[in-house]
Amino acid sequence: MDLIWHRGAGRTRRFPFGTSQMKQLANNILRRLAADRRAVAAVEFAFAAPVLLAMLFGVFQVGLLMLGYNSIRSLSGEMGRYTVVQYMTGNSLTDSQIETATIAQAVKSGSGLNTDNLHVDAETAVISSVPGVKQINLTISYDVPNFVPFWPGETFDIAVTKPVMVYISPD
């Protein structure tokens, strides 16, 4: 039995169906494939592209997390100062007033926070850690949207808790 191998138009080579000849044929084909460098860059890019894209998406996601964290940390500091100033001017705020003012400040500050993903909880502590001072624990949490397609979950939850100490005059 013969193996017929066509090379070009009109030329035909015949190889006997033997082990050494088949090895020679396979070696010739493999040598030509190893020497051919035309698609090497495309193959290397196909291997490297998914890793590079995953890293790029990861950098963007971490950037969004840092933006969200810094925004709610800054917002908690602003609202702590706001609450202290209001108490010093004699305007006692309820917990719900502090929560409403915090959301309004988030919209006004232009921090880019989506108020649908922003959760504020102001809670007056039963026992203050400092005698003669009212402690209000202000917790701001934010659900950072996930845009990385292969990462599980729709959001990343970040939260900041800031204790606000306000002096209550002993009238």
Residues 3-48 have pLDDT tens digits of 555 555 555 555 555 677 778 888 888 888 777 777 788 888 899 9
- 99 pLDDT higher than 70: yes
Range of the domain at 137: 57-167
pTM of the entire predicted model: 0.70
The answer to whether position 63 is within a domain reads yes
73 inside domain: yes
Q: Are residues 151 and 162 in contact, defined by beta-carbon separation less than 8 angstroms? A: no
Examine residue 52 and state whether it is found in any structural domain, yes or no: no
Residue 93 or residue 112, greater confidence: 93
Q: How many domains does the chain have?
A: 1
> Per the domain annotation, does 140 fall within a domain?
yes
Domain assignment present for residue 110? The answer is yes
The predicted model gives 91-109 an average pLDDT of: 92
